[in-house]
């Protein structure tokens, strides 16, 4: 895949004016506050996975509207005192996976919460969380569900679930409530940026090739799905683009990140056909806190993979030394 986006110097300077709606603060304060008021205490059920170095818990917590969301919590088996925790969100179509699908983080001495994504989990890894809230006519996929109204849009529920996942894991006795870092790749990267914007008291965010950034540009230049779902929806609903982009403005992570202040580690792939690199840089350049970014010039949406995990591990070790 050759370069198709902006030249490298232009990418590094790309910071479009992505305005949040005037009532965005009220919208998100009300959204999260309403679901928090409905939340029940999270349940952590111990599992015998056969992994002798890790203790694993099957987690159920209250998400948007009080509906149940699933997760796995992995903790080093030798731990008897509270640990920093990495909360990981999933890429598009994936679920929390199997309990033995663990990460490098608990093997490095940290707790790790692997969060399901409501309604997803049947594309490349299994999930266990339904999405009981319906929406109007939508293109196949998740991107256009409820897209004509921010109150009904799918990612209102997903972002709220993600925030309440942090609330839930903070209640576990083996987790340091003041040392939470959120992370994810692609959709998970976008979700983690939203959480960094909506939860000012977390410790940091690691966002790899993040999705859900700079919607207006992405739906025009991304040659593949999932942004293509919105493009095709608008090709049918020709008269609704203003309403669609008005809804998306509440969820555009390149707008929300102006609220974020926690340290951030980004990664971007300059041949990425799924999340165009300019859209990643839109979020990075507008991010409100201390930030770093790692470029992978010859990679598509797979990004840095193990190379980036190594960078992230050093970054976390320095933070929590």
How many residues does this entry show for the chain? 321
List, edge to edge, every strand of the sheet that includes 264-269: 43-47, 54-62, 68-76, 111-115, 83-89, 175-185, 204-208, 264-269, 291-296
272 is catalytic: yes
Q: What span, in angstroms and rounded, lies between the C-alpha atoms of 183 and 206?
A: 5
CA 127 distance to own-chain centroid: 16
Q: Which one from 62, 214, 272, 278 is the annotated catalytic residue?
A: 272
CA 134 distance to own-chain centroid: 21
301 is catalytic: yes
At 293, is the secondary structure helix, strand, or coil? strand
Residue 251 near residue 157 (C-beta atoms within 8 A)? no
Provide the sign of the torsion angle of the four alpha carbons 311, 316, 317, 318, taken in this order: positive
Cα–Cα nearest to 149, from 21, 32, 243: 243
Q: Which one from 186, 192, 249, 278 is the annotated catalytic residue?
A: 186
By CB atoms closer than 10 A (0-12, 13-18, 19+), residue 106 is buried
Q: Which residues are catalytic?
A: 186, 272, 301
């Amino acid at each position: 895949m050759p370069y198709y986006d902006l030249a490298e110097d232009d990418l590094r300077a790309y910071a479009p004016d992505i305005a949040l709606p005037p009532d965005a603060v009220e919208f998100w304060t009300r959204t999260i506050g309403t679901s928090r008021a409905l939340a029940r205490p999270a349940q952590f059920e111990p599992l015998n996975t056969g992994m002798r170095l890790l203790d694993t818990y099957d987690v159920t917590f209250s998400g948007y509207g009080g509906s149940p969301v699933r997760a796995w919590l992995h903790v080093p088996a030798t731990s008897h005192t509270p640990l920093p925790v990495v909360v990981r969100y999933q890429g598009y179509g994936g679920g929390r996976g199997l309990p033995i699908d663990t990460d490098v983080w608990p093997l490095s001495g940290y707790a790790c919460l692997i969060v399901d994504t409501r309604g997803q989990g049947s594309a490349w890894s299994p999930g266990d969380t339904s999405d009981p809230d319906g929406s109007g006519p939508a293109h196949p996929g998740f991107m256009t569900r409820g897209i004509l109204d921010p109150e009904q849009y799918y990612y209102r529920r997903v972002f709220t679930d993600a925030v309440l996942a942090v609330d839930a894991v903070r209640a576990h006795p083996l987790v340091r409530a003041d040392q939470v870092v959120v992370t994810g790749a692609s959709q998970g990267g976008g979700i983690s940026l939203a959480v960094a914007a909506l939860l000012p008291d977390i410790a940091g965010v690691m966002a790899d090739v993040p999705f859900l950034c700079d919607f207006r540009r992405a739906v025009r230049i991304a040659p593949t799905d999932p942004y293509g779902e919105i493009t095709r929806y608008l090709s049918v609903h020709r008269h609704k683009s203003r309403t669609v982009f008005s809804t998306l403005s509440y969820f555009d992570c390149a707008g929300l990140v102006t609220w974020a202040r926690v340290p951030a580690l980004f990664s971007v792939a300059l041949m990425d056909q799924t999340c165009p690199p300019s859209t990643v840089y839109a979020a990075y350049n507008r991010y409100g806190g201390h930030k770093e970014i790692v470029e992978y010039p010859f990679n598509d949406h797979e990004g840095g993979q193990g190379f980036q995990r190594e960078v992230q591990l050093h970054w976390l070790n320095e933070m929590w030394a």
